[in-house]
């Protein structure tokens, strides 16, 4: 059976036409799904019983079950959802500067192999569908009884390795008739799949783009992130410049600071040189410890020194607040779970 949350409004209209129904029914169904947020097709009370039956025969609602819910002392909540095919995914709810933010996963597992990330090292299973991405938000909203206004694609997976489904999910999230979450409130983070950065620049909606940079030269970056072998820093930054020129939007560069690896003043100097003049912002992340990981967090003192150097030299930099590390919900700590 097909997941009814997998369709853009246009596509759902086509689905209804193929069922011999009027296309405006799609708008009614969307209202039930994304405004009323019902859990059952039977609750769509302005649809005829006949149509409800037809829908039930053809589609599932794909309501995730919560397998586990862990709450951090800082209020961050990590959910483990049963995605109904024997797999489970993690989604994190955080209290961020501007309210509640959901960090969604885009894949079951990840192929990128970043050396400092817990999502690495466990076999990749499959992409999440658009509906499964959207359902993460609906399931969290239902659990807390509150709407969420900020989404970050920073959970498990590489969003640009599942480009089509992630773009469709954004369309559903962003559509005024869908969840109506402003593009400015949606951030997508990539390890740097260059061709997709060009595609993203040409999309009609303008979400925030974050780039996981983490190092300032190819030798160092390749040691941390194998994707750098395919798309080295020069190509990555060229794509970023295209994105900025095309969208006039600021890029956020993520830089996870690891002691004696990429956190000395020489690195800071090189980072300034690389990014000087670009419409960008640097998000410094104190690297989070992972099981069997060899990277150690920089000292607070050093992180502040690094930030100040960037700020003093014309690069706007902030330090990302560490949330949920006591429940392994912080950046890079999510891993694929078996049921
Ligand atoms: N695949 C995407 C999104 C996933 S992770 C990407 O690579 O951007 C979101 C952010 O957390 C990325 O910047 C990632 O590099 C960072 N991250 C991964 N492991 C981390 C760790 N152990 N400590 C701090 N940040 C980490």
Residues in the chain: 339
Ligand 1 near 288 CB (within 6 A)? yes
Cα 168 to Cα 162: distance, rounded to the nearest angstrom: 10
Cα 18 to Cα 82: distance, rounded to the nearest angstrom: 31
What is the predicted pLDDT for the residue at 115? 93
CA of 319 to the centre of ligand 1 (A): 14
Q: What is the dihedral of CA 309, 209, 336, 163, to 10 degrees?
A: -150
What is the predicted pLDDT for the residue at 98? 72
DSSP classification of residue 39: S
User: Is 332 or 310 the better-scoring residue by pLDDT?
Assistant: 310
Task: Express each pLDDT in 62-100 by its tens digit.
Answer: 999 999 999 999 999 999 999 989 899 999 999 876 789
Token duo for residue 67: 């397998």
**331 has pLDDT over 60:** yes
Q: What percent of the chain has pLDDT over 90?
A: 87
User: Is 122 or 306 the better-scoring residue by pLDDT?
Assistant: 306
Token duo for residue 32: 């039930």
CATH superfamily of the 65-327 domain: Aldolase class I (3.20.20.70)
Average pLDDT, the chain: 94
The predicted model gives 40-51 an average pLDDT of: 97
CATH number for the domain formed by residue range(s) 2-60: 1.10.150.530
Cα 214 to Cα 258: distance, rounded to the nearest angstrom: 9
What is the predicted pLDDT for the residue at 205? 85
Domain ranges of the chain: 2-60, 65-327
CA of 288 to the centre of ligand 1 (A): 9
Residue 201: strand pairing partners: none
Cα 109 to Cα 228: distance, rounded to the nearest angstrom: 19
DSSP classification of residue 207: -
Q: Which residues touch 24 (CB under 8 Å, ≥6 apart)?
A: none
Assign 241 a pLDDT band (cuts: 50, 70, 90): very high
Could you list the active site residues? 90, 331
Instruction: Look at the pTM and tell me if it is higher than 0.85.
Output: yes
User: Is 202 or 325 the better-scoring residue by pLDDT?
Assistant: 202
């Amino acid at each position: 059976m097909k997941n009814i949350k997998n369709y853009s409004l246009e596509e759902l209209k086509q689905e209804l036409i193929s069922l011999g129904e009027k296309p405006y029914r799609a708008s009614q169904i969307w209202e039930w799904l994304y405004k009323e947020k019902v859990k059952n097709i039977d609750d769509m009370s302005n649809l005829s019983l006949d149509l409800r039956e037809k829908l039930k025969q053809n589609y599932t609602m794909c309501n995730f079950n919560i397998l586990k819910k862990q709450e951090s002392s800082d209020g961050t909540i990590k959910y483990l959802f049963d995605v109904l095919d024997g797999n489970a995914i993690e989604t994190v709810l955080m209290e961020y500067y501007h309210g509640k933010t959901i960090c969604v996963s885009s894949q079951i597992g990840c192929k990128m192999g970043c050396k400092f990330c817990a999502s690495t090292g466990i076999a990749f299973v499959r992409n999440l569908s658009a509906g499964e991405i959207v359902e993460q938000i609906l399931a969290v909203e239902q659990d807390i009884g509150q709407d969420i206004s900020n989404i970050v694609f920073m959970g498990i997976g590489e969003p640009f390795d599942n480009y089509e489904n992630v773009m469709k999910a954004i369309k559903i999230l962003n559509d005024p008739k869908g969840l109506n979450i402003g593009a400015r409130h949606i951030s997508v983070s990539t390890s740097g799949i260059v061709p997709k950065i060009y595609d993203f620049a040409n999309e009609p909606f303008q979400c925030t783009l974050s780039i996981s940079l983490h190092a300032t030269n190819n030798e160092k970056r390749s040691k941390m992130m194998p994707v750098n072998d395919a798309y080295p820093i020069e190509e990555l930054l060229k794509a970023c410049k295209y994105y900025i020129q095309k969208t006039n939007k600021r890029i956020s560069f993520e830089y996870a600071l690891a002691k004696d690896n990429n956190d000395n003043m020489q690195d800071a100097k090189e980072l300034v040189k690389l990014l000087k003049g670009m419409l960008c912002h640097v998000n410094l992340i104190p690297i989070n410890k992972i099981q069997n990981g060899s990277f150690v967090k920089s000292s607070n003192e050093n992180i502040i020194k690094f930030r100040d150097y960037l700020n003093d030299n014309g690069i706007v930099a902030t330090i990302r607040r560490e949330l949920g590390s006591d429940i392994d919900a912080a950046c890079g700590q999510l891993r694929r779970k078996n049921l």
